[in-house]
Amino acid sequence: MPQSFDLFFVSSDYQKYKEAKKILHSFGIRLGFFKYELEEIQSSSLKEIASKKAAQAFQKYKKPIIIEDDGLFIDSLYGFPGPYSSYVFKTIGNKGILQLLTQNRKAKFVSIISFYDDKNSKSFEAKIYGNISKIQTGKGWGYDPIFMPKNSNKTFAELTNKNELSHRYKALKKFSNWYLHKLESNDQ
């Protein structure tokens, strides 16, 4: 029996999808997955990057979609890697980031969720502040083994409740509130 979805997550990153699916399921939203390598424009704005990707994904699939773009912004590196986080992770990884840092380890993660359908184009942003650890710890993906949220001595990779406090969770929660309200309004 085919499964029906409320909308689709478009990405080449299955880990992001799994996390988003779990979070949105807690809000009663069924999320499907379209694996697709989206073209990423060069911009210093995560919102602009996410919006362009969402428009591109909708043009390809013609179904309600969301995409997520995020960035790790490190204070002592003047916000680097920011919107270039994916490329930096692929080239120098967590070890390279750790080698770049000295004293000031303050950082923030920013997530943008962009929704697109035949009537709406909307983005939702959320941030979480913290620090970069001195060593990689835990078995997580991406920057999770080096990012410690504020008031925690554990990295995202070590936390069992990451999906309840991450930047992605906060952005998806904002999206969910809007999306569920939109669905209720359309039913009346």
The residues spanned by each domain of the chain are 7-187
* CB distance 109 to 147 below 8 Å: yes
**187 pLDDT tier (thresholds 50, 70, 90):** low
Q: Name the amino acid, one letter, at 31.
A: L
Query: What pLDDT score does 19 carry?
Result: 93
- Percentage of the chain with pLDDT > 70? 97
Which amino acids are annotated catalytic?
Answer: 69
The pTM (predicted TM-score) of the whole model is 0.91
Name which of 14-18, 71-75, 107-111 the model is least confident about.
14-18
- Does residue 157 surpass a pLDDT of 60? yes
List pLDDT tens digits, range 18-56: 999 999 999 999 999 999 988 888 899 999 999 999 999
CA proximity to 112, closest of 121, 123, 122, 102: 123
pLDDT at residue 13 is higher than 70: yes
Query: What was the pLDDT predicted at 3?
Result: 65
Mean pLDDT of the chain: 93
How many Å apart are CA 170 and CA 161, to the nearest integer? 13
Identify the pLDDT of residue 163: 87
7-187 carries CATH number 3.40.50.2000: no
2 pLDDT band, cuts 50/70/90, is low
Tokens representing 181? Answer: 């309200």
- Return the pLDDT at 1: 39
3-state secondary structure of 28: coil
